[in-house]
Amino acid sequence: MSQTASTFLYGGQVHANGIRQHYLRYGGSAGERAERDAVVLIPGITSPAVTWGFVAEHLGRQFDTYVLDVRGRGLSASGPGLDYGLDAQAADVIAFAKELGLERYALVGHSMGGRIAVRAASSKPEGLARLVIVDPPVSGPGRRAYPANLSWYVDSIRQAIHGMTAEDMRAFCPTWTDSQRQLRAQWLHTCHEPAIIQSFEDFGRDDIHANLPGLALPMLLMTAEKGGVVSDEDVAEWQGLAPQTQHVRVPSAGHMIPWDNEAGFYAAFGDFLGRPVD
């Protein structure tokens, strides 16, 4: 049986919005990609770009695909002295797309990455054509808290900095495969703890709902059946604020949707990106 060739092209870095931004690029033939929007993947709070490589491999069969290391994660700029707020993260994405000369692109943001995508879209950057928001925290001022504990992130990061095996990671990610736990154990130490703490606390301080009425872009809201991050009432509110929003709930999946139901994750895109994600 022949194996499908990898769509990974290279890892790169650009200086954009005043910082070093690291990314991974995937894609098929240039001729095929030229007819479709590029796809920029923005991972969640403790997910360096490399951990989304399996998704980017798949999307890269049909789209020019970029996966970002959000500031304070992976190989992008990190450490003390940086602004880790939502506005800075959103400005990073806009500057990244401009620096790479992306003429038309879609943002696909998971969890925190979805909030970054919404805030980035609110400034109406040139070239941004579509938004896919995947199970975003809908917390904010006066809203219910995000259903996760900060200690889960901090404890696992500190253990990764000390030295962590895939078996150690089982305590934090019991349903993941050995290879998934191994990759997370390898890269989690690159998540700068103060950046993670600020992002987590900002889930309760930043109001992304205030940005929704100003968005006219086609938008797909993809949510998990399990995990309790986005309820049916939350979906109704979101669509009331941004009526163009399509919604798909992925069955048998928790918050980390492609880890729990990878096929369902791809199917949920439908033809929203211009063609089905086969």
User: What's the pLDDT score for residue 3?
Assistant: 65
* pLDDT 10s digits, 100-137: 999 999 999 999 999 999 999 999 999 999 999 999 99
Check: CB of residue 117 under 8 Å from CB of residue 107: yes
What pLDDT is attached to residue 65?
Answer: 97
* C-beta neighbour count of 223 within 10 angstroms: 25
> Is pLDDT of 28 > 70?
no
Distance CA 16, CA 19 (A): 6
Summarize pLDDT for 195-217 with one digit per residue, the tens.
Answer: 999 999 999 999 999 999 999 99
Domain residue ranges in the chain: 8-269
Neighbours of 236 (CB within 10 A): 11
Q: Is the pTM of this model over 0.85?
A: yes
User: Has residue 30 got a pLDDT over 80?
Assistant: no
- pLDDT attached to residue 42: 99
Work out the pLDDT band at 2, boundaries 50, 70, 90: very low
Q: Reduce the DSSP state of residue 43 to 3 states and report it.
A: coil
Note whether 76 and 19 are within 8 A (CB): yes
Q: Transcribe 220-262 into DSSP letters.
A: EEEEESSSSSS-HHHHHHHHHHSTTEEEEEETT--SSHHHH-H
Per-residue pLDDT tens digits for 39-68: 999 999 999 999 999 999 999 999 999 999
Q: What is the pLDDT of residue 39?
A: 97
Instruction: With beta carbons less than 8 A apart as the criterion, state whether 246 and 274 touch.
Output: no
pLDDT of residue 67: 98
**pLDDT, the chain, mean:** 95
Overall average pLDDT of the 252-273 stretch = 97
pLDDT band at 1 (very low <50, low <70, confident <90, very high): very low
Among candidate residues 130, 165, 158, the one with its CA nearest the CA of residue 274? 130
Cβ atoms within 10 Å of 271's Cβ, excluding its own: 8
The domain made up of 8-269 has a fold known as Rossmann fold (3.40.50)
Rounded distance, CA 215 to CA 44, Å?
A: 22
- Nearest residue to 65 (alpha-carbon basis) of 90, 37, 86, 43: 37
